[in-house]
Amino acid sequence: MDWQGQKLSEQLMQIMLVAFAVAAFLAGYFLSSFQLMLIIYAAGVVLTSLITVPNWPFFNRHPLKWLDPAEAERHPKPVVANSKKKAVKSH
């Protein structure tokens, strides 16, 4: 899954869970059934998981272009500079 696919998956998950929570609450409230509310929400969680967790092809529309290993060897890795500064004493 590419980065944009991860973002899409996260957005879908949030929207679907909120939508199923609202639908479950309303159905449970108007039908006075706590059991029905839980069943609807549980079904929503399962459906949301089936849509957002697997690596479906529509989550891979923008693959990353990795650097060729030979090209990577030509460019040295950056070196972290030691940036310890001397403390300034104040009187």
pLDDT in tens, the chain (91 residues): 888 989 999 999 999 999 999 999 999 999 999 999 999 999 999 999 999 998 888 888 888 887 777 777 777 777 777 766 555 565 5
As a whole number of angstroms, the distance between CA 3 and CA 83 comes to 33
pTM of the model: 0.69
- CB 6, CB 64: distance < 8 Å: no
3-class DSSP string for the chain: CCHHHHHHHHHHHHHHHHHHHHHHHHHHHHCCCHHHHHHHHHHHHHHHHHHHCCCCHHHCCCCCCCCCHHHHHHCCCCCCCCCCCCCCCCC
As a whole number of angstroms, the distance between CA 18 and CA 15 comes to 5
